[in-house]
């Protein structure tokens, strides 16, 4: 079988309060505080629903090839001048290896900021047989993922596959209606011709979900643009890995997984490896659950709270003062390397943009998602900063 996203109102309110007497000073302060908190906590949440039935290996390969490019596109978005947190969830559906009672659906990961986990699970996906129930997987993602409530958050579902969109016992319009009630935009990516996708209701699903409809050839290999900066960025990636200090029960295994995902990206292409390195230079790539440098950045008093036995063996005999010096040094090293990667990444993107003007780029999973992310972000009041 072939199958695989109220400033003016607030301003007016604030001005109205400003014209009132001093007894209203506290309400004004409260509004400003809440608005600041809202901007700081803004999230972009993306759920990827991938068909893993037979013949969808090409779609999975495109997802592997484009993950870090998608992440880097997300990092260009700003809300009130700040970079939102990014959470990604991964689902597979239409795989005969999954339980029939679950409609052949599996939540591979919940919405998470752990980008290495997303990469790990994505590279582990396998295709097998399939009954593809789009309505069911959209409903599952809508109900079971922890979506944010505030309207300034951008919430997106991307579902990709190539069987009829209306299969299964759950009506796709009802599932998408539930998503829309939660301000979740549903985007569809059909693996096949545009007309076939239209005739099999994929475009109707996107229209109903106020999202975008795309069609791609999932059997095509992703086209990369090699740049003069890829090797320099890759060398920076090797150096930045030395700034991570694993701690706690997950420290050692997570640090090993970080390196494993480097190898996965490198195995796809040199360009993909460079894209991952660029992602690791961004604020959204954070690992406070296992990296002491990120943990201290989040909680400056973290060193006093971590037990000696939770530290790497070579640091267990260090005093708190010595640990602070080491963490401070690693923080400075990382920030310097991140800046270096950031500068190289801008030159790299300029080079890619110039090359893209010379040839017409093909539609693949990454291009489809990136195009719609930017378009939908603008409707939500986000800006794009390269």
* CATH code where residue 183 lies: 3.40.50.410
Q: Please check whether residues 70 and 120 belong to one and the same domain.
A: yes
Give me the pLDDT at residue 219, please: 87
Q: Please check whether residues 145 and 244 belong to one and the same domain.
A: no
In this structure, is residue 16 part of a structural domain? no
| Domain around 168 | 42-221+363-384
Q: Please check whether residues 52 and 162 belong to one and the same domain.
A: yes
In this structure, is residue 30 part of a structural domain? no
Q: Please check whether residues 370 and 306 belong to one and the same domain.
A: no
Distances (CA, A) of 369 to 48, 327, 335: 10, 37, 30
**Cβ atoms within 10 A of the Cβ of 223, count?**
13
Tell the residue number behind the tokens 């994929």, with chain if given: 202
In this structure, is residue 78 part of a structural domain? yes
Q: Please check whether residues 159 and 46 belong to one and the same domain.
A: yes
Q: Please check whether residues 256 and 177 belong to one and the same domain.
A: no
Q: Which two tokens stand for residue 121?
A: 């699970």
β 43-51/85-93 pair status: parallel
Q: Please check whether residues 351 and 379 belong to one and the same domain.
A: no
Q: Please check whether residues 266 and 341 belong to one and the same domain.
A: yes
Strands annotated E in 267-352:
none
Give me the pLDDT at residue 237, please: 98
In this structure, is residue 120 part of a structural domain? yes
Tell the residue number behind the tokens 């990444």, with chain if given: 345
Instruction: Give the pTM.
Output: 0.86
Q: Please check whether residues 65 and 148 belong to one and the same domain.
A: yes
pLDDT, tens digit only, all 386 positions of the chain: 433 333 343 233 333 333 434 344 343 333 333 333 444 579 999 999 999 998 899 999 999 999 999 999 999 999 998 999 999 999 999 999 999 999 999 999 999 999 999 999 999 999 998 789 999 999 999 999 999 998 889 999 999 999 999 999 999 999 999 999 999 999 999 999 999 999 999 999 999 999 999 999 998 888 888 999 999 999 999 999 999 999 999 999 999 999 999 999 999 999 999 999 999 999 999 999 999 999 999 999 999 999 999 999 999 999 999 999 999 999 999 999 999 999 999 999 999 989 888 877 667 888 889 989 999 899 889 999 87
Distances (CA, A) of 340 to 242, 259, 299: 15, 20, 26
In this structure, is residue 13 part of a structural domain? no
In this structure, is residue 4 part of a structural domain? no
Q: Please check whether residues 373 and 324 belong to one and the same domain.
A: no
Q: Please check whether residues 206 and 259 belong to one and the same domain.
A: no
Q: Which two tokens stand for residue 43?
A: 């999230």
In this structure, is residue 62 part of a structural domain? yes
Give me the pLDDT at residue 40, please: 59
Give me the pLDDT at residue 361, please: 67
Q: Which two tokens stand for residue 139?
A: 């409903």
Could you give the CA distance from residue 38 to residue 383 in angstroms, rounded to a whole number? 16
Structure letter (DSSP) for residue 82: B
Q: How many residues does the chain have?
A: 386
Note whether 105 and 314 are within 8 A (CB). Answer: no
HEC profile of 174-204: HHHHHHHHCCEEEEEEEECCHHHHHHCCHHH
The strand order across the sheet containing 43-51 reads 105-112, 85-93, 43-51, 154-161, 184-191, 210-216
Domain count, the chain: 2
Q: Please check whether residues 190 and 300 belong to one and the same domain.
A: no
């Amino acid at each position: 079988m072939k199958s695989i996203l109220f400033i003016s109102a607030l301003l007016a309110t604030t001005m109205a309060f400003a014209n009132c007497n001093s007894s209203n000073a506290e309400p004004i302060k409260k509004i400003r505080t809440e608005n600041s908190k809202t901007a700081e906590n803004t999230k972009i949440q993306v759920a990827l629903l991938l068909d893993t039935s037979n013949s969808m290996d090409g779609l999975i390969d495109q997802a592997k090839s484009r993950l870090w490019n998608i992440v880097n596109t997300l990092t260009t978005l700003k809300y009130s001048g700040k970079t939102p947190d990014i959470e990604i969830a991964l689902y597979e559906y239409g795989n005969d290896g999954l339980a029939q009672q679950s409609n052949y659906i599996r939540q591979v990961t919940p919405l998470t900021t752990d980008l290495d986990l997303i990469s790990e699970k994505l590279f582990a996906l396998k295709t097998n047989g399939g009954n593809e129930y789009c309505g069911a997987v959209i409903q599952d993602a809508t109900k079971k993922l922890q979506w944010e409530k505030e309207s300034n958050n951008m919430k997106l579902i991307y579902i990709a596959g190539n069987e009829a969109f209306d299969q299964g016992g759950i009506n796709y319009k009802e599932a998408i209606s539930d998503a829309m009630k939660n301000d979740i935009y549903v985007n569809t990516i059909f693996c096949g011709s545009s007309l076939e996708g239209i005739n099999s209701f994929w475009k109707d699903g996107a229209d109903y979900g106020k999202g975008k409809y795309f069609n791609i050839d999932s059997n095509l290999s992703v086209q990369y643009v090699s740049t003069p900066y890829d090797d320099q960025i890759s060398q920076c990636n090797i150096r930045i890995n030395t700034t991570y200090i694993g701690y706690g029960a997950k420290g050692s295994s997570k640090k090993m997984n970080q390196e494993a995902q480097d190898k996965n990206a490198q195995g796809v292409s040199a360009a993909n490896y460079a894209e991952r390195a660029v992602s690791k230079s961004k604020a959204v790539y954070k690992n406070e659950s296992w990296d002491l440098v990120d943990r201290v950045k989040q909680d400056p008093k973290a060193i006093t709270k971590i037990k000696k036995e939770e530290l790497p063996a070579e640091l267990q005999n260090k005093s708190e003062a010595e640990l602070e010096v080491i963490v401070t040094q690693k923080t400075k090293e990382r920030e310097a390397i991140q800046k270096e990667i950031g500068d190289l990444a801008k030159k790299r993107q300029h080079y890619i943009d110039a090359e893209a003007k010379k040839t017409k780029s093909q539609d693949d999973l990454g291009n489809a998602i990136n195009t719609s992310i930017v378009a939908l972000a603008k409707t939500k009041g986000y800006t794009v900063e390269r």
